[in-house]
């Protein structure tokens, strides 16, 4: 399975990528939403995108809207991973097309639990 | 039958907007920081609420909260401590030699996480700025400040009102958060 991790923090990209790679994901990283869209435009379409909210150039909400406006990327599962925890913002993200919302800080176990909720744990891990 | 005399005192008291200092206190800041440390730095990493030695070669990271209350959440520590924190965040992914960008990035992410959770306890809607790292921003009024020790090293987290130094009367008005 493939995952794209989009966050302007290199440290956070490494943390999230490390968890996903430990689960068997093939991971690519991007530093903001525009870079993330470039990865998809280039033909590397992931099963899962973990995207931060506040980023320069293109934020996470704009990225989610852009992905959802392209029917060929409909199957991509999107999880917002962000320190934005206001109820109204969670609602906006889900309304824009994100499937799940992970609030920073989180533990690796909590992250895996969210993936399990999404049915995004690779089969050999889920069993 | 008891007559109810409306003096207006109760209504005025209930209608008074809360002051920022009523919404955020040292215990809340420390609780937020402990959660961030446990999740990001390590499960067995503790923050001790004690002031440490004066900082040498200090570095700060901060995020701005803009909304009904506007201010800044600032983390300040020594650069050597920031580098140690970066190694903890990166764990096995830490490069053999950390560069300044790695250290700034890690300290900025800590400010982002702590700031985001401080914002969550304030009335919204608010927006969170991107983290910045460097010399501490021009000091506003400390609404709340906690002096902590991490691995025996000094670290300060402060929530600063953007109003700067105000007269007592203006400060009281500025610190009121409309609902």
- Please identify among residues 4-63 of chain B the ones whose CB lies closer than 8 Å to any CB of chain A: 35-36, 38-40, 43
pLDDT at B15: 59
Structure tokens at A93: 């993200």
Interface contact B93, partner A, CB < 8 A: yes
Which of A12, A86, A105 has its CB closest to that of B120? Answer: A86
**Between residues A46 and B21, the one the model is more confident about:** A46
- Tell how many helices (H) and how many strands (E) occur in chain A: 6, 5
- Please identify among residues 53-82 of chain A the ones whose CB lies closer than 8 Å to any CB of chain B: 54-56, 82
CB B154 within 8 A of CB B77: yes
Which of A8, A83, A107 has its CB closest to that of B113? Answer: A83
Distance from CA of A13 to the nearest CA of B (A): 10
Contact A86 B36 (CB under 8 A): no
Which of A54, A103, A106 has its CB closest to that of B128? Answer: A54
Q: Is A74 exposed, middle or buried (0-12, 13-18, 19+ CB in 10 A)?
A: exposed
Quote the CA–CA distance of B45 and A54 in Å, as a whole number: 27
Interface contact A124, partner B, CB < 8 A: no
pTM listed for this prediction: 0.85
Q: Is B35 exposed, middle or buried (0-12, 13-18, 19+ CB in 10 A)?
A: middle
Structure tokens at B160: 């600063």
- In the DSSP assignment, the letter for residue B38 is I
pLDDT digits (tens, 9 = 90+) for B108-137: 999 999 999 999 988 878 999 999 999 877
Which of A8, A84, A106 has its CB closest to that of B39? Answer: A106
Set of chain B residues whose Cβ sits within 8 Å of the Cβ of A107: 38-39, 43
Query: Which bin fits B93, alpha (ψ -120 to 50), beta or left (φ > 0)?
Result: alpha
pLDDT at A88: 86
Tell which of A5, A7, A8, A9 to mutate to test the B interface (max B CBs under 10 Å): A9
Quote the CA–CA distance of A2 and A18 in Å, as a whole number: 13
What are the C-alpha distances in Å from A15 to residues A52, B37, B52, B131, B161?
13, 14, 30, 18, 32
Distance from CA of A45 to the nearest CA of B (A): 25
pLDDT digits (tens, 9 = 90+) for A60-107: 999 999 999 999 999 999 999 999 888 888 999 999 999 999 999 999
Q: Which residues of A35-46 are buried (b: 16+ CB within 10 A; e: fewer)?
A: bbbebbeeeebb
CB B157 within 8 A of CB B85: no
pLDDT at B168: 39
pLDDT under 70: residue ranges of chain B: 1-18, 139-140, 163-179
pLDDT digits (tens, 9 = 90+) for A26-43: 999 999 999 999 999 999
Contact B128 A107 (CB under 8 A): no
Minimum CA–CA partner of B43 in chain A:
A107
- Tell how many helices (H) and how many strands (E) occur in chain B: 6, 7
Asked if the model's pLDDT at residue A53 lies above 80, the reply is yes
Bond prior to A105 in cis (omega within 30° of 0): yes
């Amino acid at each position: 399975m493939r995952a794209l991790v989009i966050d302007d923090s290199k440290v956070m990209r490494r943390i999230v990528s490390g968890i996903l790679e430990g689960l068997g994901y093939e991971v690519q990283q991007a530093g903001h939403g525009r870079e993330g869209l470039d990865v998809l435009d280039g033909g590397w379409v992931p099963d899962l995108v973990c995207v931060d909210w506040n980023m320069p150039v293109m934020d996470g909400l704009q990225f989610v809207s852009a992905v959802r406006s392209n029917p060929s990327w409909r199957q991509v599962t999107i999880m917002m991973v962000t320190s934005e925890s206001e109820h109204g913002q969670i609602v906006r993200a889900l309304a824009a097309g994100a499937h799940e919302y992970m609030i920073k800080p989180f533990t690796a176990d909590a992250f895996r639990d969210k993936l399990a909720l999404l049915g995004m744990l690779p089969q050999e891990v889920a069993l | 039958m008891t007559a109810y005399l409306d003096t207006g005192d109760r209504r005025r008291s209930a209608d008074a907007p809360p002051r920022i200092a009523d919404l955020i206190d040292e215990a809340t800041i420390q609780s937020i920081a402990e959660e961030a440390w446990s999740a990001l730095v390590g499960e067995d990493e503790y923050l001790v609420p004690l002031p440490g030695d004066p900082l040498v070669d200090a570095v700060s990271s901060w995020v701005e909260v803009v909304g009904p209350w506007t201010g800044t959440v600032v983390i300040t520590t020594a650069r050597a401590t920031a580098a140690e924190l970066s190694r903890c965040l990166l764990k096995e992914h830490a490069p053999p030699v950390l560069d300044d960008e790695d250290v700034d990035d890690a300290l900025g992410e800590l400010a982002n996480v702590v700031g985001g959770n401080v914002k969550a306890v304030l009335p919204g809607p608010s927006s969170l700025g991107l983290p910045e790292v460097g010399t501490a921003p021009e000091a506003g009024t400390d609404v709340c400040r906690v002096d902590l020790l991490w691995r025996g090293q000094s670290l300060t987290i402060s929530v600063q009102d953007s109003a700067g130094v105000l007269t007592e009367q203006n400060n009281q008005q500025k610190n009121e958060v409309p609902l």
